[in-house]
Structure 1
């Protein structure tokens, strides 16, 4: 356990950040899951709307450095390809 006042504060801050990051990652995963479910069901309109929301979540997480910006970009690209294939 931390002994100094500053170390205790850093520990409190890290716990808060950890919780915030976990919530952000969880919401990203949930939205991606909804998008993929819509793609699997073949529902193009639902997939597009879910993808729009997933993109927002990914961009927010990347902006706050919860996930790496390249990871956000890669995930968006892969889902967009699947939606494009659904259109054909």
Structure 2
């Protein structure tokens, strides 16, 4: 349990950040799910559009510290290659 005023304040801040980060992570997952669904349906145009929408959202997660840079890069790379494979 937090005892000092500083640790009490940090606990309050951490709770607020947790809510913000949870919302941001959920938003990123939603965008990624839309790409996955477009790929599953086989619609390349929809998948490309969804991927373009997901990229800045994922990179925003990196700058905010919600997602690691390499994780985001790996996800983008794998999704992009799957979208590209739809055209073949």
TM-score, normalised to structure 1, is 0.95
Partners of 1:87 and 1:20 lie apart in 2 by: 38
Offset of 1:14 from its aligned partner? 0.5
Q: After TM superposition, list the pairs within 5 Å mapping 1:60-75 onto structure 2.
A: 60-75=60-75
Aligned to 1:57: 57
Partners of 2:68 and 2:40 lie apart in 1 by: 27
Q: Runs of 5+ in structure 1 lacking a partner?
A: none
Q: Runs of 5+ in structure 2 lacking a partner?
A: none
Q: List 4+ stretches of structure 1 deviating above 4 A.
A: none
Partners of 1:82 and 1:11 lie apart in 2 by: 42
> What SS does the corresponding residue of 2:2 show, helix, strand or coil?
coil
Offset of 1:54 from its aligned partner? 1.0
Aligned to 1:28: 28
Partners of 1:2 and 1:20 lie apart in 2 by: 22
RMSD over aligned Cα atoms? 0.8
